[in-house]
Amino acid sequence: MDLRPELLPPSVAPEYLAALAREIERIAQLIVTGDPDDAIAAFDQHTGQDYDFTDFAGYSSHRDLLDFAQEAARPAHPRVPDVTRDELVEIVRRIRAAGPDADYYLLLFRTNVSHPAPTNLIYHPPADLLDASADQIVDAALAYRPIAL
């Protein structure tokens, strides 16, 4: 299934990615040599993200610099108010395919369902969802209703 443009990862200019990567490296160095708080706050304001000290300290131990820059360049909470069940199913399929944009689709899925831990439905499913299809995962995520207090 094709997804409409607002559900696809936005493209990012290589120059912008390079600039973000340089800033990530600068902030990582500030953690070692000085006070990074103002730089992190400016980075967050510029990108619309909510990173903290731990995101920059040792980021290279678990992700590539350009992956970090790509994440920072994309929307932090890509909410699409009229996303359909079929689109969510396709998003889960793309997450499971583990392609280069899987992290974006995972963020898109988490942002557009009310389930408190939708990624667990995919990666750590309850017994009744072991070997579940993408349709079943989406149905479980959409079936969740928060408890009114």
Tens-digit pLDDT profile for residues 35-73: 999 999 999 999 999 999 999 998 888 889 999 999 999
Average pLDDT over residues 108-115: 96
Complete DSSP assignment for 36-72: -HHHHHHHHHHHT----HHHHTTGGGTS-HHHHHHHH
- Position 148 pLDDT exceeds 90: no
Q: Among candidates 125, 27, 72, 73, which has minimal Cα distance to 138? A: 125
Single-letter amino acid, residue 109: F
Mean pLDDT of the chain: 94
- Give the model's confidence band at 86: pLDDT under 50 very low, under 70 low, under 90 confident, else very high: very high
Nearest to 73 by CA among 19, 8, 30, 112: 19
Q: Does the pLDDT value for residue 15 go beyond 80?
A: yes
pLDDT at position 63 = 85
* pTM summary value: 0.85
Asked if 20 and 73 count as a contact pair (C-beta separation under 8 A), the reply is yes
**What torsion do the CA atoms of 3, 7, 9, 13 make, to the nearest 10 degrees?**
100
